């Protein structure tokens, strides 16, 4: 599922989801780490990088495999990391302001 057209990816993901309805197939697909990783990557892809049909088919396949909770946890972790980065940037900006203010006061004092 790395290359190829988005239409082919969507159909392949739909087939994976359909196969996962069978208990035996689900066990085989669940054990195939590469399929799960690539499917999760497509489900988590940024808007505009893959077609909506591909993303929807990937989310459906993960839901049928029972991995939707894992996908939600991964999304929450990504959001938490983004918040942490924003807080770090705010701290850096605050430190720069604190360091520059005394300098500005000295320059404009005379």
What's the pLDDT at 96? 80
Is the confidence at residue 106, as pLDDT, over 80? no
pLDDT digits (tens, 9 = 90+) for 20-51: 888 888 888 888 888 888 988 898 888 788 89
Note whether 33 and 58 are same-domain residues: yes
Q: What's the predicted TM-score (pTM) here?
A: 0.59
Q: Alpha-carbon torsion 60, 62, 64, 70, what sign?
A: negative
Look at residue 97 and tell me if it is in a domain.
Answer: yes
Is 72 inside any structural domain? no
pLDDT tens profile 59-98: 899 888 877 667 777 778 888 999 999 999 999 988 887 7
Question: Quick one: pLDDT at residue 109?
Answer: 65
pLDDT number for residue 13: 93
Would 75 be classed as within a structural domain? no
For residue 106, count other CB atoms closer than 10 A to its CB: 9
Give me the domain span that covers residue 50. Answer: 1-66
State the total domains in the chain. 2
Residue 57: predicted pLDDT: 93
């Amino acid at each position: 599922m790395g290359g190829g057209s988005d239409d082919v990816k969507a159909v392949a993901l739909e087939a994976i989801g359909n196969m996962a309805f069978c208990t035996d197939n689900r066990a085989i697909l669940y054990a195939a780490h590469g399929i799960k990783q690539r499917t999760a990557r497509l489900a988590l892809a940024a808007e505009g990088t893959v077609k909506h049909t591909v993303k929807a088919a990937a989310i459906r396949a993960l839901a049928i495999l029972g991995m939707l909770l894992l996908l939600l946890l991964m999304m929450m972790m990504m959001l938490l990391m983004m918040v942490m980065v924003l807080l770090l940037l705010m701290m850096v900006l605050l430190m720069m302001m604190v360091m520059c203010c005394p300098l500005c006061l000295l320059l404009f004092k005379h």
